[in-house]
Amino acid sequence: MAAEIIAVTQQKGGVGKSTIAMHLGAAFHEKGKRVLVVDADGQNTLIHWASASSGDVGIPFHVVNLSEAGSQIHREIKKFVADYDIIVVDCPPSITEKVSGVVLLAASVAVIPTSSSPADYWSSIGLVKLVQQAQVMNEDLRAVFLLNKTEEKRMLTRELKRALEELGFPLLKTQIPTREAYKQAMALGQTVLQMNDRGAKLAAIEVRACANEIAALLP
């Protein structure tokens, strides 16, 4: 069976696309899926991340660099679909380049990370349009917002949740708060699923819950 493609995409940098892409990969890998994570962003965060580990505790699934493929990336991804169950694509921040658009044409689910900053909300508006354009051709494409780096008690988050829902795509129930563990994971070349401190354990629960919600959207 061909792999399902999950696109992690947002216009802005720094919202957690790479963090979420790698951790979704980790959670699906833990479920026993054959996972490929694609680094489609020229910043190559995931490639650096995967090579940051020391010893044998590295990233336990494949991470491939397709950031040079540009608007041909869907062709490159196609070469892998027979060999994997899940392909998570970490898309580049800009929607002016064609990469996110073509990935969305092949994807089953678009995950749109956003923090509670108004700037993220505004860039989500552009992303919604891009997803809707892709849905004209790819009718089965589902899209969800994922609140990252949240502080639940803040008014802004509640306001933002409502505003996001009005944009037309559902918000995942699971939110990812700001946790040092996510930063540490990147620095250590691991994911929070492999780490043992309390913060990482809480993070692992969130990451698994997030992946379960996304798994429920897959055909």
Nearest Cα neighbor of 23 from 14, 9, 35 is 35
**Binding characters for ligand ADP, 115-154, by CB under 6 A (x = yes):** ---------------------------------xx-----
Task: By CB under 6 A, tell whether 208 contacts ligand ADP.
Answer: no
- Determine the Cα–Cα distance for residues 173 and 72; give it in Å rounded to an integer: 34
Helices (H), the chain: 17-30, 45-50, 73-78, 99-106, 118-137, 155-166, 180-188, 198-215
CB-CB contact of 160 with 125 (8 Å): no
Task: By CB under 6 A, tell whether 94 contacts ligand ADP.
Answer: no
Q: Which listed option, Mg ion, ligand ADP, none, makes contact with residue 208 (CB within 5 to 8 Å by class)?
A: none
- Determine the Cα–Cα distance for residues 204 and 144; give it in Å rounded to an integer: 20
Q: Which listed option, Mg ion, ligand ADP, none, makes contact with residue 70 (CB within 5 to 8 Å by class)?
A: none
Interface with Mg ion (CB under 5 A): 17-18, 45
CA of residue 122 relative to chain centroid, distance: 19
47's tokens: 């490639």
Task: By CB under 6 A, tell whether 183 contacts ligand ADP.
Answer: yes
- Among positions 3, 6, 7, 15, the unique one binding ligand ADP when judged by CB under 6 A: 15
For residue 32, the minimal CB distance to Mg ion (Å) is 27
- The residue type of 11 is Q
Of 4 and 41, CB closest to Mg ion: 41
Task: By CB under 6 A, tell whether 45 contacts ligand ADP.
Answer: yes
Q: Please give the residue ranges that form the binding site for ligand ADP (CB under 6 A).
A: 13-19, 45, 148-149, 176, 178-179, 182-183, 186
